[in-house]
A and B are shown apart, each in its own frame.
Chain A
Amino acid sequence: SQTIHQWPATLVQPVGSPLSLECTVEGTSNPNLYWYRQAAGRGLQLLFYSVGIGQISSEVPQNLSASRPQDRQFILSSKKLLLSDSGFYLCACERTGQGEETQYFGPGTRLLVL
Chain B
Amino acid sequence: AQKVTQAQTEISVVEKEDVTLDCVYETRDTTYYLFWYKQPPSGELVFLIRRNSFDEQNEISGRYSWNFQKSTSSFNFTITASQVVDSAVYFCALTPNFGANNLFFGTGTRLTVIP
The chain A residues found within 8 Å of chain B, CB to CB, are 32, 34, 42-44, 46, 49, 51, 57, 59, 88, 90, 92, 98, 101-108, 110
- Across the interface, which residues of A come within 8 angstroms of B44, CB to CB? 90, 105-108
**Majority secondary structure, A binding face:** strand
Knowing A51-B101, A59-B102, A101-B99, the reply to whether A90 touches B107 (Cβ < 8 A) is no
Query: Does B7 have its Cβ within 8 Å of any Cβ on chain A?
Result: no
Once A59-B102, A103-B103, A107-B42 are accepted as A-B contacts, the answer to whether A43 and B47 lie under 8 Å apart by CB is no
A44 engages B95 (CB within 8 Å)? no
On chain B, the residues within 8 Å of A103 by CB distance are 47, 103
* A-B pairs under 8 A by CB, number: 52
Give the residues in chain A near B107, CB-CB below 8 Å: 42-43
| B interface residues, tally (CB under 8 Å) | 21
Docked-complex contact B43 and A110, CB < 8 angstroms: yes
> With a CB–CB cut-off of 8 A, which chain A residues contact B98?
98, 101
B residues in contact with A108, CB < 8 Å: 43-44
**Contact residue among B33, B37, B43, B91 (Cβ-Cβ distance under 8 Å from A101):** B33
